[in-house]
Structure 1
Amino acid sequence: MTWQTTLTVIDLGIAVLTLTLGVTKAAAARRERTLVLSLTASVLLHAGVVFLLATPPLYRAVGSALHAPNLPALAIDVATLLCVGHAHYMALLWHPERHTAQARRRAVRAWLPFYTAAVTAMVLLYASAGLPQAARPLRFAPVYAQNPAVFALKAVYFSALVVAVVATMSLCRQVTLPDRPGLARDVRRCMRWFAVAVGLDLATAVLTLGSMVGVIVRDDHRYDFLADASWVATILSGIAANQSLGRLVLTATKDDRRDCHALGPLHHLVVAGARHLVIPTGRWNAQIRLTRMMMEIRDGARTLTPWMSDRPAAAVDDLLRSAGPPTGGPVDPLAAQDAATLLHAAACRAAGRPPAPAEHRLHTLPGIDVPAAQERAHLVRVAQHLAHPLVSTALRAADEQAVPPTAGR
């Protein structure tokens, strides 16, 4: 099997896999409209286009159809740079502590002119090169190394690629998710693969540049094989990128399913008496199901407001201050107060008791002021505290403090 045949098989295989993943993520992004999914789909689709165009038969077919036989070489470089640019922005999303939405907008305004200028310069230099004939796939750089416009085009491309790759790799090493440390560990593993994938693009640039320097210095094509070898680094980069993005999606899905399971008891508690709140959930989509469960928990908690008393939360506070280290595991005071309040209110509603007296009624849960970014983690902790011994003790204390309603009330 020749190198060209081997290259065709490998490139087509990676292109099909990458484009399939990209289309799948694009379809999911249409349903859920999240930035992470959109960027994941974009990175995969750009990478798929790169490998598709690099397949020798398609490389020649596209060039012939457009009457510009070397145009696929430019398209591969532009798509690769745009792919790294998308990855660059995607890496920013995993820094919620250091990169707010406003900071990300500033980063976009700072980097967009850089990518725009690089792509524009590459296109203009290609148009001015006046290339007379087609170069063999992957041999564009050494074949036209002595053409000033092509050399300048590659210089712009390599310079932009180095800057973008270094910036992206730096971000990949600094992933922080303070509200979800378990997910942060998994994301860091995925981002290490992502950094490897992006870093391998530098190896591609070095090998390609080596083939060009060989032509310029020695005025022969003895080192043209380096241009072919550079594609090995690109293939490894594509494999590492698929590994990273695939693991990233699976990790997020696994985390969503785990939290759906954890929220089950809390969801059942607050909607048990308000079944009209339950809407169809995305059975096969853990993220949609989780989002809807959280919405229903919030709405269900509101229906319990008339029976919410300040006694359970006060009992939790008293126990934490007066008792020693609690049995049954660590306690999150706010989550324990919410759990006790909801359990007490649900029990009162189920028993047909009258609403809580006005002087003891709570109109909002103790944890209502939790920031939106921490709400998911807080609700999971509330669900985990429903069966905590401290909460059970607080409920008994709250019931003992309650004054039975008189006949006249």
Structure 2
Amino acid sequence: MSGIADISHISAAGPVLGAPQIPDAPFNVVYLGIGTVAWVVAALKIRAWRRDPSPGLLVVTLSIAAPATAFVVAAPVVYRLLDRLAHRPNLATLFVYLGIMGFSAAAVVLARMWTPPEDRVGALVWDEATVATWRPVRVRLTVFAVLVAAMIVLFFAGGPTRPETPLTFDTTFAAIPSIAAFLVLYQGLFGFALIDIGRVCLRHAAGLPDGPLRRGIRQLAVGAFVACGYGVSKLVAIGAAAAGTTGTEWLSTALGPAFAALGAVLITTGFAGPAVAAWIRRRRDYQALRPLWDLVYRADRRLALEAPPSAWTERLAVRDLEWRTARRGLEIRDGQLTLRPWVTPAVVPAATALAERAGLDDADRAALIVATALRCAVEALNTGTPPRPREDQAPLPGLDAEPVEERAHLVRVARHLYAPLTGEALAAATATATE
């Protein structure tokens, strides 16, 4: 997300101080593509923040939206449009760099808000908004505010208006002392933020269990360190241009943007990865529970708030998956309790014996027992078998599962529902019951 700053240097006014012409099209495609994808991720984060407001999630959203905007503005076509609207060439450069400074400030704040590994409980990531947390945050934000204000003053003091240079701003105006100071201050703040967030991400990822969140945070660290190559390339090119040395412009116009674009992709996907993985998991669980939900719904249609969605509606479901899945789980639980009086007691020993013979672990053994019990109960209900009194009802595993474990248990039950082993257990229980 950090490489956007280079885009602000493309010239609409012909050659830049003898530099070779650089085609706009590749930069338009890359910068607009990265900016658009990053804004999609930012929009998803905004939606998540509105559902569950928290300072940490808000900072993550800002750390994605700010550089996403910078990438869009840095695209030569947008860069020149803004310059024309403002009637001031190269003004878009300032907006690009301020967008990156927004990311830098958000990244530094994020590093302070992450829960230290030794204090983390489970997958907890955000620290509580304590005085100890916010004191260093305020100090860093104050420093950024002062230095960003200094950047703005230096930019206008340098008066970089002609030529318009969306891709070569740094090397074109580096000989102007105030612009050189502006550029060095920008690169210093940006580099500090990248190193800070990269270091913190590595330390915090080490305290998380293996999974999408840990991989995403590690990818953030890699993206931050890769983006540091942008700053190094830029500083070398700026120093050479300020000294009047030629032949190093490619560091600013090619190598730096390449590091920036790659770093931006890694950082954006690092932020998005855990959320995408969670969405995929929710969608998979929602669809996996359908057979089990159908079973209890056919047994008692009063359990559901609405009729079953069509197969296509289910396949195309992309929104509100957490709510839909949670509701489906609750309705299945209600169905289990409703069907329990019709469960044959022989189900538990029959399914347990088959599970042990098949070498199933505890979780799958419990799921097999419940799946067999529910199928047995539905058959008994459909054949008019009277319900058993409470004292004769078979105890089933999983009914007292914690909420965090309940969904995984129900998904296992759904997958065992029509498995061959479940059919064998049902047949064995039925044979025992009729003896």
TM-score, length of structure 1 as denominator length: 0.71
Once the two structures are aligned, what percentage of the paired residues are identical? 20
Is the aligned partner of 1:262 residue 2:294? no
Which residue identity is paired with 1:203?
A: G
Separation in 2, partners of 1:377, 1:51: 41
Higher relative contact order (CA 8 A, sep 6+): 2
Q: Of 262, 265, 286, which residue of structure 2 is paired with 1:236?
A: 262
- Give the CA deviation at 1:64: 6.1
Q: Of 155, 160, 178, which residue of structure 1 is paired with 2:193?
A: 160
- Give the CA deviation at 1:167: 2.4
Alpha-carbon contact 1:169-1:198 (below 8 Å) kept: no
Counterparts of 1:43-192 in structure 2, within 5 Å, are: 45-56=65-76, 58-63=78-83, 65-66=85-86, 72-83=92-103, 85=106, 98-100=122-124, 103=127, 109=134, 112-113=137-138, 116-117=141-142, 119-129=144-154, 131-134=157-160, 136-137=165-166, 138-140=168-170, 143=174, 146-147=177-178, 150=182, 151-171=184-204, 176=209, 184=211
3-state secondary structure, aligned to 2:159: coil
Between 375-384 and 21-30, the greater mean CA deviation after superposition: 21-30
Alpha-carbon contact 2:344-2:377 (below 8 Å) kept: no
Q: Deviations over 1:11-36 (max 9, x none)?
A: 32134323443555566667776679
- Give the CA deviation at 1:234: 1.4
User: What 5-or-longer segments of structure 2 have no aligned partner?
Assistant: 1-13
Is the aligned partner of 1:202 residue 2:228? yes
Alpha-carbon contact 1:46-1:79 (below 8 Å) kept: yes
3-state secondary structure, aligned to 1:126: helix
Q: Which residue of 1 aligns with 2:25?
A: 9
Q: Which residue of 2 aligns with 1:371?
A: 402
Which residue identity is paired with 1:10?
A: P
Which residue identity is paired with 1:220?
A: G
Alpha-carbon contact 2:342-2:376 (below 8 Å) kept: no
Alpha-carbon contact 1:53-1:72 (below 8 Å) kept: yes
Separation in 2, partners of 1:45, 1:346: 52
Q: Which residue of 2 aligns with 1:407?
A: none
- Give the CA deviation at 1:140: 3.8
Separation in 2, partners of 1:270, 1:87: 51
Separation in 2, partners of 1:227, 1:98: 44
Which residue identity is paired with 1:372?
A: P
Alpha-carbon contact 1:121-1:153 (below 8 Å) kept: no
User: What 5-or-longer segments of structure 1 have no aligned partner?
Assistant: 178-183, 405-409
Separation in 2, partners of 1:380, 1:273: 19
Q: Which residue of 2 aligns with 1:298?
A: 330
- Give the CA deviation at 1:308: 0.9
Change (3 A) 1:161 1:238: closer
- Give the CA deviation at 1:43: 5.9
Q: What number of residue pairs does the alignment pair up?
A: 392
Change (3 A) 1:58 1:291: closer
- Give the CA deviation at 1:204: 0.7
Alpha-carbon contact 1:11-1:51 (below 8 Å) kept: no
- Give the CA deviation at 1:302: 1.1
Alpha-carbon contact 2:237-2:251 (below 8 Å) kept: yes
Q: Which residue of 1 aligns with 2:297?
A: 271
Alpha-carbon contact 1:340-1:391 (below 8 Å) kept: yes
3-state secondary structure, aligned to 2:24: helix
- Give the CA deviation at 1:202: 0.6
Counterparts of 1:37-48 in structure 2, within 5 Å, are: 45-48=65-68
Separation in 1, partners of 2:297, 2:414: 14
Alpha-carbon contact 1:4-1:56 (below 8 Å) kept: no
Q: Which residue of 2 aligns with 1:354?
A: 386
Q: Which residue of 2 aligns with 1:21?
A: 37
Separation in 2, partners of 1:58, 1:283: 38
3-state secondary structure, aligned to 1:269: helix
TM-score, length of structure 2 as denominator length: 0.68
Change (3 A) 1:31 1:149: closer
